[in-house]
């Protein structure tokens, strides 16, 4: 529109016709950003590997819920800070550190299986997942910065992107637990 904030629509090459609305509704923003959060996790093999490692380390269902919640709360903080331009880290550094966090968890799993020792990661998975969650939040922010946030609904878009991320994480965990139960 000539007056007000620009409108943002997510689209891909599969759509040949795009209808432009006169205004962006709160429900449209919620839907677009929830789907964007879900899609980010679905295509993020690195993140799915990280969650799988957390599942292996957590052990019990209760610890798994606390571990994933700790991760979610932490990544929500840095996702918000970076997306709202309060604090940022260089993208290359974030991507490197995220890869190292996955590698560290994989090494912890291998060491635990070989030696059986309880390292800090195994004793305190919630703390470890929260610390790594702070790092991963900066990675999620890169995606949101590329998508952009609607000027008048930044907080809502941020919230619903985060909800999409969490919904897909929980769906991934549910499918994995279902497969494990089915296999045993």
Calculate helix-pair angle for 45-58, 154-183, nearest 10 degrees. Answer: 60
56 token code pair = 């292996």
pLDDT confidence bin for 24, thresholds 50/70/90: low
Look at residue 11 in the predicted model and tell me its pLDDT.
Answer: 60
Give the DSSP letter of residue 90: -
pLDDT of 21 strictly over 60: no
Look at residue 32 in the predicted model and tell me its pLDDT.
Answer: 87
pLDDT of 151 strictly over 80: no
pLDDT confidence bin for 28, thresholds 50/70/90: confident
Q: What CA–CA distance (Å, rounded) separates 145 from 91?
A: 11
pLDDT of 3 strictly over 70: no
By the 8 A CB rule, do 26 and 153 touch?
yes
By the 8 A CB rule, do 41 and 165 touch?
yes
Q: What CA–CA distance (Å, rounded) separates 83 from 166?
A: 17
pLDDT digits (tens, 9 = 90+) for 90-112: 989 999 999 999 999 999 999 88
Burial of 172 (0-12, 13-18, 19+ CB in 10 A): middle
pLDDT confidence bin for 9, thresholds 50/70/90: low
């Amino acid at each position: 529109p000539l007056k007000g904030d620009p409108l943002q629509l997510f689209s891909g090459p599969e759509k040949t016709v795009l209808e432009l609305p006169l205004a962006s509704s709160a429900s449209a923003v919620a839907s677009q950003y929830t789907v964007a959060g879900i899609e980010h996790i679905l295509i993020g093999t690195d993140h799915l590997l990280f969650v799988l490692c957390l599942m292996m380390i957590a052990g019990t269902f209760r610890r798994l819920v606390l571990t994933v919640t700790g991760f979610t709360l932490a990544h929500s903080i840095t996702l918000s800070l970076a997306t709202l331009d309060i604090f940022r880290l260089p993208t290359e550094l974030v991507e490197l550190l995220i890869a190292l966090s996955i590698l560290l968890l994989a090494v912890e799993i291998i060491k635990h299986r070989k030696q059986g020792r309880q390292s800090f990661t195994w004793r305190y998975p919630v703390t470890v997942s929260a610390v790594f969650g702070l790092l991963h939040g900066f990675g999620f922010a890169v995606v949101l910065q590329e998508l952009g946030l609607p000027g008048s609904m930044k907080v809502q878009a941020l919230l619903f992107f985060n909800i999409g991320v969490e919904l897909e994480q929980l769906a991934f965990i549910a499918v994995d637990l279902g497969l494990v139960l089915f296999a045993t």
